[in-house]
């Protein structure tokens, strides 16, 4: 494979030595819509694939690949599978949440219905599996399969704990490892495996990705309270309003075991008024700062994992992603 597209300034700044190769990943992902041969499914795929973000997960896979033999014929399908798996989970998320918009754009379920969107997500999962098979590495395929199971368990755990006010920090961390961090870990681990680095370095990259993914999700949950609704594409406190407890809310509830507006709201007592009160008090309580401290701890652990990786541009870029995750605003 060859590089023919110049990366954007943002991508170059974030992803350094692999920024110019991310278009290959995007092209492989978009190819599933172009080659499907079924107009209705093509329109659904184009809708689902239109809102790709910063491509951090595939970039991590490529950066891990830079640590050894940088074989784009295998790394690009790996990176594409990771991003496609992530996008498929968002399609299913929107069905479960009955979400009609994601970042200001209509969701597939809003346009095509829930039943069709479930099948769309399944189709994308199948294509992600096809991509991962193109690595010709059975160990990577096994990691991918286990990650898919972990993500499904994480999604189910979140679904059955909606409006459950007995959540604690450890259960929250277990949930976000399954729902989010496991895929970061797979991107980093899979890239290192395809690159043929030592088992110690593969494990270091897995830990890096996992810890970075935990930090990423905690920051995301903080931004649900502190972010600009126009930038985030959702109202302040939308997770709490949807019945999902995240770290700022859990820490707040631990401080307020008696007069607890979250518990009252989840029990159906003046739900809107109590949720509005809870959001105001969470923002004023100091639990946002406490949550950020927890995120920084996991960021530090991700950085510590990189100490097992040889110095170079790829490691420096992976290190820089930790700083980006901790300071991002969207």
Residue by residue, DSSP assigns 128-147 as: HHHHHHTT--HHHHHHHHHH
- Is the predicted pLDDT of residue 233 greater than 90, yes or no? no
Give the mean model confidence (pLDDT) for residues 71-89.
98
Give the mean model confidence (pLDDT) for residues 27-48.
94
Q: Which tokens hold the place of 141?
A: 């395929």
Q: Where are the domains of the chain?
A: 17-327
Determine the pLDDT at residue 11. Answer: 80
The reported pTM is: 0.94
**Contact assessment for residue 158 and residue 175, using Cβ atoms and an 8 Å cutoff:** yes
**Contact assessment for residue 222 and residue 185, using Cβ atoms and an 8 Å cutoff:** no
- Is the predicted pLDDT of residue 302 greater than 70, yes or no? yes
Determine the pLDDT at residue 8. Answer: 73
Helices (H), 196-286: 199-226, 229-232, 238-241, 247-255, 261-266, 271-285
- Is the predicted pLDDT of residue 4 greater than 90, yes or no? no
When pLDDT is cut at 50, 70 and 90, the band that residue 6 belongs to is low
Report the alpha-carbon distance of residue 267 to residue 270 in Å, rounded.
Answer: 9
Q: What is the pLDDT of residues 191-217, one digit of tens each?
A: 999 999 999 999 999 999 999 999 999
When pLDDT is cut at 50, 70 and 90, the band that residue 104 belongs to is confident
User: Count of alpha carbons within 13 Å of 234, Cβ hemisphere only?
Assistant: 22
Give the mean model confidence (pLDDT) for residues 208-235.
94
Q: Tell me the C-alpha to C-alpha distance, in Å, between residue 329 and each of 87, 122, 125, 232.
A: 21, 31, 29, 9
When pLDDT is cut at 50, 70 and 90, the band that residue 1 belongs to is low
Determine the pLDDT at residue 51. Answer: 66
- Is the predicted pLDDT of residue 54 greater than 80, yes or no? yes
13: which strand partners?
Answer: none
Domain 17-327 is classified in which CATH homologous superfamily? Farnesyl Diphosphate Synthase (1.10.600.10)
- Is the predicted pLDDT of residue 7 greater than 90, yes or no? no
- Is the predicted pLDDT of residue 158 greater than 90, yes or no? no
When pLDDT is cut at 50, 70 and 90, the band that residue 251 belongs to is very high
Determine the pLDDT at residue 3. Answer: 44
- DSSP conformational letter for 179: I
In this structure, of 2-6, 272-276, 307-311, the range with the lowest mean pLDDT score is: 2-6
**Contact assessment for residue 135 and residue 156, using Cβ atoms and an 8 Å cutoff:** no
- Is the predicted pLDDT of residue 33 greater than 60, yes or no? yes
Q: What is the mean pLDDT of the chain?
A: 93
Burial class (CB in 10 A: 0-12, 13-18, 19+), 64: buried
When pLDDT is cut at 50, 70 and 90, the band that residue 5 belongs to is low
Determine the pLDDT at residue 53. Answer: 79
When pLDDT is cut at 50, 70 and 90, the band that residue 138 belongs to is very high
- Is the predicted pLDDT of residue 167 greater than 90, yes or no? no
């Amino acid at each position: 494979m060859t590089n023919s597209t110049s990366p954007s300034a943002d991508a170059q700044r974030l992803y350094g030595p692999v920024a110019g190769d991310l278009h290959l990943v995007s092209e492989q992902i978009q190819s599933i819509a172009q080659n499907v041969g079924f107009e209705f499914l093509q329109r659904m795929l184009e809708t689902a694939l239109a809102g790709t973000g910063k491509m951090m997960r595939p970039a991590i896979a490529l950066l891990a690949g830079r640590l050894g033999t940088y074989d784009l014929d295998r790394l690009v399908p790996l990176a594409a599978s990771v991003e496609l798996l992530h996008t498929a989970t968002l399609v299913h998320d929107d069905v479960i949440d009955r979400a009609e918009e994601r970042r200001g754009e209509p969701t597939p379920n809003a346009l095509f219905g829930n039943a069709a969107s479930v099948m769309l997500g399944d189709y994308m999962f199948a294509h992600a599996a096809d991509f991962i098979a193109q690595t010709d590495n059975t160990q990577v395929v096994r990691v991918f399969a286990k990650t898919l199971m972990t993500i499904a368990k994480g999604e189910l755990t979140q679904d059955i704990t909606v409006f459950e006010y007995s959540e604690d920090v450890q259960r929250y961390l277990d949930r976000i490892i399954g729902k989010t961090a496991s895929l970061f870990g797979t991107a980093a681990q899979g890239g290192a495996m395809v690159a043929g680095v030592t088992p110690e370095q593969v494990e270091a990259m897995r830990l890096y990705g996992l810890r970075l993914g935990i930090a990423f999700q905690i920051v995301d949950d903080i931004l649900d309270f502190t972010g600009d609704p126009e930038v985030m594409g959702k109202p302040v406190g939308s997770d709490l309003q949807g019945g999902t407890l995240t770290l700022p809310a859990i820490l707040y509830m631990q401080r307020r075991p008696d007069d607890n507006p979250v518990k009252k709201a989840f029990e159906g007592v003046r739900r809107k008024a109590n949720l509005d009160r809870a959001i105001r008090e969470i923002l004023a309580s100091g639990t946002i700062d406490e949550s950020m401290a927890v995120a920084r701890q996991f960021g530090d652990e991700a950085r510590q994992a990189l100490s097992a990786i040889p110095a170079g541009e790829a490691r420096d870029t992976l290190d820089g992603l930790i700083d980006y995750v901790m300071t991002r605003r969207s």
